[in-house]
A and B are shown apart, each in its own frame.
Chain A
Amino acid sequence: MPRKRVRLEHAVEYLSILDEKGRVDEKLEPQIDKETLLDIHRTMLLSRRLDERMLTLQRQGRIGTFAPAKGQEASQVAAMAALTGNDWFVPAFRETAAMLWRGTPPENLLLYNAGYSEGGAIEEGTHDLPISIPVASQIPHAVGIGYASGLRERDEVTITFFGDGATSEGDFHEALNVASVLKTPVIFLCQNNHWAISMPRGRQSESRTLAQKGLAYAIPSLQVDGNDVLAVYSAVQEAAQRARDGEGPTLIECVTYRLTVHTTADDPSKYRDEEEVEKWQEREPITRLQTYLKKKRWLSDKQIDKLEKEIEEQVDEAWKTAHERIESLNDSQVIFDHGYAEMPDYLESQRQSFADRLKEGE
């Protein structure tokens, strides 16, 4: 009867291993082999340069609106690198770097952003979902996929990406609760990039951390420095192990920053100061990783220059391929394809009249 305290043992850990100055906490340093780290670095750099090229192409009117990943490459690539190709990847709409790690050809990203659904094609058997634009709507899918992995006795972990804004949506909360109740092998990776279009993190939620939202559902949850490849890798590796051991979901809040526009249709000068961006530019993930790799003597400035050239050529080549494909894609009838396994006859007749062009569709 008396008023008493319900004790909850809750705290949110913040994990940082490689700091802005390139200093490492050796006790926490994960053992990642040289080849993997260099691959991570290469993918992050490719993502950055592809983003830059896409920005130019968009300004030239050659491709449409897209959401750059600039600044968030560590959160994406290190997370994917800690998983296997057999694990499931459920992205939101800003995961260019993660998609590249998964093997999405850059020309497909260009093609998609140029407005051709062919660029979104996913090979059968691939454990990747397409980008998901409605905020937070993909999060429940990850829970379903994870539960199915369990039911089908597959050794698969599912990771889903979403932003700080997404944690305000019902889909996020419902999915977390269900995942916890069903103990599904899912990693919820929140990229807190501090902005949801014009809404700063501080106004999105009064919660001190976004990670603590997981604690409400009894999901182990932590914050990591999202611009720190080593911290993100360690956190995801640990979460994946828990998932594989049948211990259920984890929520990881990667604290990072959106270094550029929300999308190419957005003008951040309306709502944020350049000073804030500059401050975060210093914590930028790629230079930080390069410092680390250089200290280990796994990467030199000369090698970086060489890599930059290779990537430039790769991006040129990707645009060339995408462009050639665009030129060859001149039959708009494909808009009728893939609606159903079998095209119903009313739709077939719409397609037919579209093909005839002169007859009015019946």
Chain B
Amino acid sequence: MAELNMADALNLALNQEMENDESVVVLGEDVGVDGGVFRVTDGLLERYGERRVIDSPVAETALAGVSVGLAINGLKPVCEMQFSGFSYQGFHQMEAHAARMRWRTRGGHTVPMVLRMPYGAGVHALEHHSESKEVFYAHTPGLKMVIPSTPRNARALLVSAIRDPDPVVFFEPKAVYRAFREEVPDEEETLPLGESRIAREGDDLTMISYGAMLHRTLEAADTLAEEDGVEAEVIDLLSLSPLDHARFAESARRTGRVVIVHEAHRSFGPAGEIMARLIEDAFYYLEAPVRRVTGFDTIVPLFAREQAYLPDQERILAAARGVLND
């Protein structure tokens, strides 16, 4: 058991999977000698050699497309896109092939690959380095879409993603990489993809979030307990696809009040889908309109104003109190 930050926890997952399974290979820009720009792949080149840890030219279409080929021919590629904002050339391969290969070949060829990438705002990065466009991937049938929130669940989910028989897009909240440490067991640990968790228990209000915004949501939930005497249940989705709607629908039926928090843009964002599922599965139990606190429908601003874009305590609390008082 060691106290690890998320970057180190992901590194542990990669190390153990590469150690246990020779078919796991890592590829990406600056993932070898440099150890990745966030150091998630640090030390892998030294341990597993350059045949299994591939420092690639700057070529995202090739990275994703080559990974499809590697996966078809028996390997388990873990491919890094340096930032989600540079994954779009790779998106083409994910949509056109990774997502469809099993379907097109009636199960004859499969693509057990992981496409990892940092996403999200909050670290004072450059333009194109702070977006949260998980819906592009979550919207694509055939792909799984995972977003961890803490070091320990990041490690366990990455192991599961590597072992999953289907292509998994794995978004890493870069604002969490080094934000805090958590005990992460040395022994192997996995978590099922497509299963959410209850990050905080409560019966008065359901708050749904994931990734970096989970932590702001938890902070708001604590404030509500202190200042309003309200116990909010906070659900950490962990996967957007498949979406574990049973858990949040059950919670919504119990509390009757729901707030959803994410940093992705508002229109056609994940909250829209979650609200639709609530209407399908919990409509008669809702005591107030569901509210969402999201990034705005603007380009993510340059860093001086990124906090203005992101959901903050004020906005989350206002939404929660609104739902409670409706």
Contact = CB atoms under 8 A, between A and B. Distances in A.
Contacts of B288: none
A219 B128 CA distance: 32
Contact of A347 (B89, B297, B303, B309): B297
A281 interface: no
Given A117-B301, A335-B296, A360 B33 contact: no
Interface stretch (A14-22, A192-200, A311-319): A192-200
A133 B128 contact: yes
Interface string A15-53: 000000000000000000000000000000000000000
User: Interface residue tally of chain A, by bracket?
Assistant: 35 or more
B1 interface: no
Contact of A339 (B29, B55, B298): B298
Interface in B55-71: 55, 57-62
Contacts of A117: 301-302
Contacts of A135: 58, 86
Contacts of B267: 346
Contacts of A360: 291, 293, 315, 318-319, 322
A265 B37 CA distance: 8
Contact of A133 (B126, B293, B297): B126
A133 B318 CA distance: 36
A151 interface: no
A116 B303 CA distance: 7
A170 B89 contact: yes
A134 B83 CA distance: 10
B125 interface: yes
Nearest to B316: A360
Interface in A169-196: 169-171, 196
Given A170-B89, A199-B29, A361-B266, A64 B303 contact: yes
A65 interface: yes
A112 interface: yes
Contacts of A64: 124-126, 303
A339 B301 CA distance: 11
Contacts of B57: 165, 168, 196, 199, 203-205
B219 interface: no
A198 B59 contact: no
Interface in A312-343: 326, 329, 332, 334-336, 339
Interface in B93-111: none
Q: Is the interface of A mostly helix, strand, loop or mixed?
A: loop
Interface stretch (A70-78, A97-105, A282-290, A350-358): A350-358
Contacts of A265: 37
Interface in B271-316: 291, 293-294, 296-299, 301-306, 308-309, 314-315
B293 A347 contact: no
Given A197-B30, A198-B33, A350-B266, A65 B124 contact: yes
A246 interface: no
Interface in B189-242: none
22 contacts: A64-B126, A66-B126, A115-B302, A133-B129, A134-B86, A165-B58, A168-B62, A169-B59, A169-B89, A197-B37, A199-B57, A203-B55, A203-B57, A332-B301, A335-B301, A339-B298, A346-B297, A350-B266, A350-B297, A360-B293, A360-B318, A361-B293
Interface of A: 64-66, 93, 112, 114-117, 133-136, 165-166, 168-171, 196-199, 203-205, 263, 265-266, 270-271, 326, 329, 332, 334-336, 339, 346-347, 350, 354, 357-361
Which 5 A-B pairs rank lowest in CB-CB distance, beginning with the nearest?
A115-B304, A198-B34, A168-B57, A332-B308, A115-B303
Given A115-B306, A205-B57, A266-B37, 13 more contacts: A65-B124, A114-B304, A134-B128, A169-B58, A169-B60, A197-B37, A198-B32, A335-B301, A346-B267, A350-B266, A350-B298, A358-B314, A360-B322
